[in-house]
Structure 1
Amino acid sequence: MRGTCSLFCAWSLLFLTEVCAQAQRRPTFTCGGNITGDSGVIGSQGYPGVYPPNAKCVWRITVPEGKVVVLSFRSIDLENDNLCRYDYVDVHSGHAGGQRLGRFCGTFKPGALVSMGNKMLLQMVSDANTAGSGFLAVFSAAHPHERGEQYCGGRLDRPSGTFKTPNWPEKDYPAGVTCSWHIVAPKNQIIEVKFEKFDVERDNYCRYDHVSIFNGAEINDAKRIGKYCGDSPPAPVFSDGNQLLVQFLSDLSLTADGFIGHYKFRPKQFSITTMPPTTTTQPVTTRPILITGTVITAVTREGSMYATVSILNVYKEGSLAIQQAGKTMSTKIIILCKKCPFIRRGLTYVFMGQVEEDGRGKIAPQHFVMAVKAKNQKGLNVLKNKRC
């Protein structure tokens, strides 16, 4: 009996020693911090215990120069909400003012996220009511051209290459991700982008899932070449200079097959000398717009007015690019009409014009702008059903 007791006591002591050793090996996660190195693990405060309420934690990751940060979530368990309004994790490329790569909540695990440089920022926010164990993620440093097929976004600087949505072509792209590909050519060249296959959630205004292409290296509405969604591949796109930014965004609802695109560096003269000539036998397609909206911003540059308009009603939308934040929809309009009334912030107008190739509204000299009055409404409803 004494031998049995001694054996049991020895086994218990060994078990407790192993438990203590495992507890010591388990990392303790705190609220935020600055993290450097080639790889590492990040967890929400107290993970895998329930994360605290009313917290805002920021982690800044830095990997060696010349590399990009690759982040993968191993576990995520936050309060669920379709718009991630309460508890969420934001991931940004860079440390300050960088492009947001995604906002995540619930138990949805996105594909691997890639920064555009050697820095990445994570921010976790919780409200007064918490639910779940938070998140656990791992990061590693990678060469921009060795990211692997599962990654999304990054810098592309080879003479030609391919970019695609996560999971292509095996299954639909995931919800809730943002991918940004920064394509950089030599200074004496431009960039051509073509989409081989394209299937992104359809919407008349591309408000939900969409691809945007910008001249330069940053998100800038004034430099946007186009905004695309639906199942028809966009026409080939040529940059003005030696840099392009291709951004893909999916919201937290419907998804689709995704896309595969190809880029190629070209001589600066390529887009002029090698594009097939346009033919005058093809009918000219006009894309009229007729909207009413309240002016949010209005800036005059080089004799033209650049306005942001909060949309009240859309009567003819053409292919107007419309941004949506919550229930508010807005669009960009350039006013070239010299005889149109001078628009002012906070006032509401009727805008009738056409859509440019980049989806921005244009009010040319033959179009018009008019302050909205109640008596105009009946006439507008008639115009809605007439051809411009």
Structure 2
Amino acid sequence: MRSANVALCALSLFALVLAAVRAHSQRRPVFTCGGNITGDSGVIGSQGYPGVYPPNTKCVWRITVPEGKVVILSFRSIDLENDNLCRYDFVDVYSGHTHGHRLGRFCGTYRPGALVSTSNKMMVQMVSDANTAGSGFMAVFSAGKPHERGDQYCGGRLQKPSGSFKTPNWPEKDYPAGVTCSWHIVAPKNQIIEVKFEKFDVERDNYCRYDYVAIFNGAEVNDAKRIGKYCGDSPPTPVFSDGNQLFIQFLSDLSLTADGFIGHYKFRPKKFPTTTAPPATTTASAATRTTTLKYSAALCQQKCKRNGTLESHYCASNFVITGTAITAVTRGGSTYATISIITIYKQGGLAIQQAGKTMITKIIVLCKKCPFIRRGLSYILMGQADEDGRGRVAPHHFTTPLRAKSQKSLNVLKNKRC
């Protein structure tokens, strides 16, 4: 009799568990491909989440919260095909219901901090190619106070000739965890933008993986146009845009925080002297700058011809690297290039920054056509670094397209004592 009662109790318990499981499964939201969503809060997810998302799809969610509020989006889970540039499967997040102001592109499994729109509208777009991998994403949104009315969130469009931007809670207390602030600075078309940080304290990491400030040329997060990625407690050197727009993104993850920062920007004439280093990073006099300009002009009138060999230039060069030009922008009589580093043979005073999984550095080709640097091609670069850590390459320095034979020679020279 007792064993029968035990069996009945077990069956009853099983029935209760089964009922609870069924009730839970009935409450689980069913995610479809996109949609128009209105309200104070809600949940969105990739089609079929948490199952594997389908291939060859493009899903768009348009979120609208009440007027006078902003949209705050937080990813609870993200698992998409991984790629350094998110070229295959990705989620794009835009401020507004159009493709104009992108807050970020995401893939892989790294969750960004909270993304905040500049209006009461936000658009989320997920694209997958023929080969899918992962469970997709799930994110929650809510209506929050605009950055103009509170200190919890931050960001916005800055169009005055000069101004400041700062982390939430500055300077009273540490910035909060899990936020993303995006400032889009727009100058008139005939001007560029200078950015300086007065105070700077962001969670330190060798690769700036957790909390960081990233600065981009243009109007959106775009790794190909990234100027730099910064963290730690040393203010970055002044930054100059290539054109009339800059995008500054601050991101904090969900763990440690720090004091934060305050930065200042101002518009500059587009024909601002651009020679060995941006003038704002030095206290050199106008006479000194004029001399430098004349020197550069005379230098660029020389016949463009490479003399010597790898061996003869190796020891005379302050830095020797191989790398791929990911940007190459002409400004004034010089070319400003961002180099994705392949190998460092001599670093000298060259400043190296981490950008995702790659290391990058800035190179100024003093005479824009000598040597001629093309975006997307790989080179051996030798030259002298200036006091701000930018590499300067003049016509008489040794620069050549990267070849396998040259790389073998460099490996031998690396062990040479100069």
Q: TM-score range by the shorter chain?
A: 0.5 to 0.7
**Which residue number in structure 2 is paired with residue 314 of structure 1?**
344
**Which residue number in structure 1 is paired with residue 141 of structure 2?**
138
TM-score (norm 1): 0.60
**Which residue number in structure 1 is paired with residue 409 of structure 2?**
376
CA 1:344–1:162: 2 relative to 1, 3 Å: closer
**Which residue number in structure 1 is paired with residue 152 of structure 2?**
150
Structure 1 residue 261 and structure 2 residue 262: aligned? yes
**Which residue number in structure 2 is paired with residue 53 of structure 1?**
53
- Cα deviations by residue, 1:135-158 (Å, 9 ceiling, x for unpaired): 241243754512x33325333568
Q: 1:364: how far off?
A: 2.0
**Which residue number in structure 2 is paired with residue 197 of structure 1?**
200
CA 1:34–1:167: 2 relative to 1, 3 Å: farther
**Unpaired segments of 5 or more residues in structure 1?**
1-18, 281-286
Alpha-carbon distance in structure 2 between the residues aligned to 1:119 and 1:32 = 15
Alpha-carbon distance in structure 1 between the residues aligned to 2:360 and 2:244 = 30
Q: Any conservation in 1 of the 2:202–2:261 contact (CA below 8 Å)?
A: no
Alpha-carbon distance in structure 2 between the residues aligned to 1:366 and 1:80 = 48
Alpha-carbon distance in structure 2 between the residues aligned to 1:289 and 1:173 = 39
What SS class does the counterpart of residue 148 from structure 2 fall into? helix
**Which residue number in structure 2 is paired with residue 123 of structure 1?**
125
Question: Quick one: which of 112, 115, 126 aligns to 1:113?
Answer: 115
Q: Any conservation in 1 of the 2:202–2:231 contact (CA below 8 Å)?
A: yes
**Which residue number in structure 2 is paired with residue 76 of structure 1?**
76
Q: 1:314: how far off?
A: 0.8
**Unpaired segments of 5 or more residues in structure 2?**
1-21, 274-279, 288-316
CA 1:220–1:336: 2 relative to 1, 3 Å: farther
Q: 1:299: how far off?
A: 7.8
Q: 1:232: how far off?
A: 1.0
- Cα deviations by residue, 1:284-314 (Å, 9 ceiling, x for unpaired): xxx9431023567778787756666553211
Question: Quick one: which of 247, 250, 254 aligns to 2:249?
Answer: 247
Q: Any conservation in 2 of the 1:199–1:230 contact (CA below 8 Å)?
A: yes
**Which residue number in structure 2 is paired with residue 350 of structure 1?**
380
What SS class does the counterpart of residue 195 from structure 1 fall into? strand
**More helix by proportion, 1 or 2?**
2
**Which residue number in structure 2 is paired with residue 91 of structure 1?**
93
Alpha-carbon distance in structure 1 between the residues aligned to 2:268 and 2:369 = 42
**Which residue number in structure 2 is paired with residue 8 of structure 1?**
none
**Which residue number in structure 2 is paired with residue 33 of structure 1?**
35
Aligned 1:220-369 pairs, distance under 5 A: 227-234=229-236, 244-249=246-251, 257=258, 259-263=260-264, 277-278=283-284, 288-294=318-324, 309-317=339-347, 318-320=349-351, 322=353, 324=355, 326=357, 329=359, 333-336=363-366, 349-355=379-385, 361-369=391-399
- Cα deviations by residue, 1:204-243 (Å, 9 ceiling, x for unpaired): 8x68864244576556899877653332123566889986
Alpha-carbon distance in structure 2 between the residues aligned to 1:186 and 1:306 = 21
**Which residue number in structure 2 is paired with residue 101 of structure 1?**
104
What SS class does the counterpart of residue 413 from structure 2 fall into? helix
Alpha-carbon distance in structure 1 between the residues aligned to 2:390 and 2:196 = 21
Q: 1:128: how far off?
A: 5.7
**Which residue number in structure 2 is paired with residue 6 of structure 1?**
none
Alpha-carbon distance in structure 2 between the residues aligned to 1:306 and 1:189 = 14
Alpha-carbon distance in structure 2 between the residues aligned to 1:376 and 1:116 = 53
Alpha-carbon distance in structure 2 between the residues aligned to 1:192 and 1:145 = 21
TM-score (norm 2): 0.56
The amino acid that maps onto 1:353 is G
What SS class does the counterpart of residue 342 from structure 2 fall into? strand
What SS class does the counterpart of residue 33 from structure 2 fall into? coil
Aligned 1:162-241 pairs, distance under 5 A: 162-164=165-167, 169-170=173-174, 173-174=177-178, 179-183=181-185, 193-203=196-206, 210-213=212-215, 217-218=219-220, 227-234=229-236
Alpha-carbon distance in structure 2 between the residues aligned to 1:46 and 1:38 = 21
CA 1:117–1:239: 2 relative to 1, 3 Å: farther
Alpha-carbon distance in structure 2 between the residues aligned to 1:260 and 1:88 = 31
Q: Which moved more, 1:153-162 or 1:297-306?
A: 297-306
Alpha-carbon distance in structure 2 between the residues aligned to 1:347 and 1:312 = 12
Among all aligned residue pairs of Structure 1 and Structure 2, give the percentage whose two residues are the same amino acid: 44
CA 1:234–1:376: 2 relative to 1, 3 Å: same
Q: 1:41: how far off?
A: 2.2
Alpha-carbon distance in structure 1 between the residues aligned to 2:377 and 2:242 = 35
What SS class does the counterpart of residue 153 from structure 2 fall into? coil
Q: Any conservation in 2 of the 1:226–1:359 contact (CA below 8 Å)?
A: no
C-alpha RMSD of the superposition? 5.7
Q: 1:163: how far off?
A: 1.8
